[in-house]
Structure 1
Amino acid sequence: LGCIILARVGDVRRFSDKKRFVAYCGLDPVVESSGKGVVSRGISRKGDGVLRRAFYLAALTAIRVNPVIKRFYEEHKGKLKGRKLIIACARKLAVITWAVLYYNKPFEADE
């Protein structure tokens, strides 16, 4: 995953916030709103497909071995199902990746 991020993204500091990085990865949610309510339509898929797939596959593993992603998965299991839940985990992993690279600090699970 690290090699793919370096090759596809380069310097992560060019993304001023996590939302822009997540959108570049193609993992940002599409939300439609009207007068009556808000509906989620999945992910935008406008970003880099290689990064999106890499984070998706990394999330599949992280759900089993990473305590932070595993806890996130367990907390959201009732609300989301199947691929939507895995995509949410992939997005969480992308946000963690952005923070580690942007702030140049090692990941600490208690943050």
Structure 2
Amino acid sequence: IAELGDVNRFDNRAAIVAYAGLNPKIQQSGDIDGLHLKISKKGNKHLRCLLYLGAQCNYRLRKEDPLYEFTKKKRQQTQCPLSSKAAYTASAHKLLVIIYSLCKNGTLYHS
């Protein structure tokens, strides 16, 4: 949370996701629509790293947590399953949105 600073300076969750560099990078050329293949990595590198490590530790240690279920679902989806790194990155994105909403609303996390 120290890497985020005051969350009230962000208008919405898209702004805080972009600040962390976890927003999708759109690649497009000519008539081809944009593909969301990678994250932009244009934000706070330390925050992105901490969120990734938090998502990774959560998956390894907290088997009953909803974030664990989200990561597991991303890795085992039948159509286009994600690698472990991509699933952890998706979980880091979700973790950041959860942190933002908890700080913005002033509530506590209950899994």
TM-score range for the pair, normalised by the shorter chain length: 0.7 to 0.9
Task: Provide runs of 4+ in structure 1 moved above 3 Å.
Answer: 33-38
How many residue pairs are counted as aligned between the two chains?
104
Corresponding position of 1:82: 84
Q: Greater CA radius of gyration, 1 or 2?
A: 2
Shift of 1:83: 1.1
Q: Does 1:17 align with 2:12?
A: yes
Identity %: 30
d(CA) in 2 for partners of 1:54, 1:36: 35
Q: Which runs of 5+ in 1 are unaligned?
A: none
Q: What are the superposed Cα offsets for residues 14-48 of structure 1, whole Å, 9 maximum, x if unpaired?
A: 11111111111111111234534442231101000
d(CA) in 2 for partners of 1:82, 1:38: 24
RMSD: 1.7
Aligned with 1:9: secondary structure? coil
d(CA) in 2 for partners of 1:63, 1:32: 30
TM-score, normalization: structure 1? 0.83
TM-score, normalization: structure 2? 0.83
**Structure with the bigger percentage of helix:** 1
Shift of 1:59: 0.6
d(CA) in 2 for partners of 1:32, 1:108: 38
d(CA) in 1 for partners of 2:28, 2:67: 29
Q: Which moved more, 1:48-57 or 1:26-35?
A: 26-35
Q: Which runs of 5+ in 2 are unaligned?
A: none
d(CA) in 1 for partners of 2:12, 2:23: 13
Q: Identify the match of residue 45 of structure 1 among 21, 41, 45.
A: 41
d(CA) in 1 for partners of 2:96, 2:71: 15
Aligned with 1:16: secondary structure? coil
Residue pairs, 1:19-34, within 5 angstroms: 19-33=14-28
